Amino acid sequence: MPRYTGTKRAILDATLELAATKGITGTTMDEVAERAGVAKGSLYYNFSSKDRLFEELLQEGVGALADTLLEARAGLHGRAALEALIGALLDGIASNTALAKLMASEIFRTDRTWQRTLFALRHEALAVFAEAIAEARPGSRDNGTCGLMASSVFGAVLMSGLEWLVFDPERHRDEVSAAILDSFSGGLLGD
Amino acid sequence: MPRYTGTKRAILDATLELAATKGITGTTMDEVAERAGVAKGSLYYNFSSKDRLFEELLQEGVGALADTLLEARAGLHGRAALEALIGALLDGIASNTALAKLMASEIFRTDRTWQRTLFALRHEALAVFAEAIAEARPGSRDNGTCGLMASSVFGAVLMSGLEWLVFDPERHRDEVSAAILDSFSGGLLGD
DNA sequence: GTCTATACACCGATAGAC
DNA sequence: GTCTATCGGTGTATAGAC
């Protein structure tokens, strides 16, 4: 995954900030150029189209998230691996809230030109959770069930994380983390 | 019992179907008119603007969801109330997937003219979960924590429900339900 | 590589006939 | 209440100077 610098970096950063609040379709190339401090012509020199610009943005962002999750799980097993993944995802959302908002709003859209790219990356990130779940309870669950449970955990962290950061930023990170862990530790439906 | 009938109903239905795949900003009034089988002028006779059209659409949809959740919880307590809520939300997502996709993509946006309307309705739906959670374990958790856990459950059901309906529709509803309930019953982090 | 200027299609909204 | 026709504004993308 290539890391960009210079003009491309400035354009991608401006694009992400704008898209997080206005959405992708609602973000114009004129606004991106202005925020990035370049002319519109430079946008099209560095990225062949608006679609390609957003495809590269999502590729970089979601790819980095998948890498973060892989690192967080490394060397850990069972319950410890899952707790580390939940914490790492929550921290990832906190440190790149713009990307998280963008992911939440784009992840279930099926009309984009970059649909297949985003689908593969999303699958990659979810697979880290699914594998950790499968390993935690070997033999007792099929792959599909582990995938669903991975979605369940991912959705829980994404939603409560954004709830915190967007609507209730005063709250402390550890409160959010504790509420999520409590939910999945049987605090809601357990015994 | 639909609040609207006739032309307004046709327009709202067409709007929802289009917006579920193309997003709100990506849906044009010309497309809505064509799909609804009316002329564009009729759109503006029945709804004063594009923003108002979508505000009424979300108001109707999310309001109906909140009512469904209230009914599902009625008369139930503790674990049974939470399980009923999870099942009702999953069924609501399945029977109105277009609305669920729209909610997922709009719920964390803060630049819309109808922001306050959607925020209030979202809060209403989440409050049903939060109250059920608070009641299930009285005294042990503050309101904020119950709200976070409500987001957690809501996000888990929304994400795994859409994962099922959008990317893996062959799967049976009860498998999805079982995976969610298992996750929150301690199947992931419990003992 | 980055700029300015512009082509040209599209979209939200309105006016007025029926 | 619904239609057709149209206006003004805006958006993506390109051409060509520097």
> Structural domain boundaries of chain B?
1-47, 60-187
Fold assignment, B60-187: Tetracycline Repressor; domain 2 (1.10.357)
The pair of structure tokens assigned to B129 is 């979960």
DSSP states along A155-169: HHHHHHHHIIIII-T
pLDDT bucket at B1, cuts 50 / 70 / 90: low
Half-sphere exposure of B87 (CA within 13 A, CB side): 12
Measured CA angle at A106 (ends A101, A107), to 5 deg: 100
How many angstroms separate the CA atoms of A90 and A171, rounded? Answer: 14
Average model confidence (pLDDT) across chain A: 96
Strand C protein footprint, C-beta under 7 A: A 6-7, 37-42, 45-46; B 27-30, 40-41, 44, 48-51
Distance B21 CA to C18 C1' (A): 36
pLDDT of A2: 64
- Tokens 């990035």 sit at which residue? A36
Query: Using the CB atom, is residue A40 less than 7 Å from strand D?
Result: yes
Residue in chain B closest to A22 (alpha carbons) equals B111
Q: Do A152 and B109 touch (CB under 8 A)?
A: no
Share of chain A above pLDDT 70, in %: 98
CATH number of B1-47: 1.10.10.60
How many angstroms separate the CA atoms of B61 and A25, rounded? Answer: 23
* Single-letter amino acid code for the residue at A113: T
What letter would DSSP give residue B163?
Answer: I
Task: Using the C1' atom of nucleotide C3, identify the protein residue whose alpha carbon is closest.
Answer: A39
E strands present in chain A: none
Which one is the CATH code of A49-187: 2.40.110.10, 1.10.10.10, 1.10.10.60, 1.10.357.10?
1.10.357.10
3-state secondary structure of B48: coil
| Set of chain A residues whose Cβ sits within 8 Å of the Cβ of B27 | none
Distance A173 CA to C14 C1' (A): 51
pLDDT bucket at A140, cuts 50 / 70 / 90: confident
pLDDT bucket at B112, cuts 50 / 70 / 90: very high
Instruction: List, for residues A17-54, the tens digit of each pLDDT value.
Output: 999 999 999 999 999 999 999 999 999 999 999 999 99
pLDDT of B190: 83
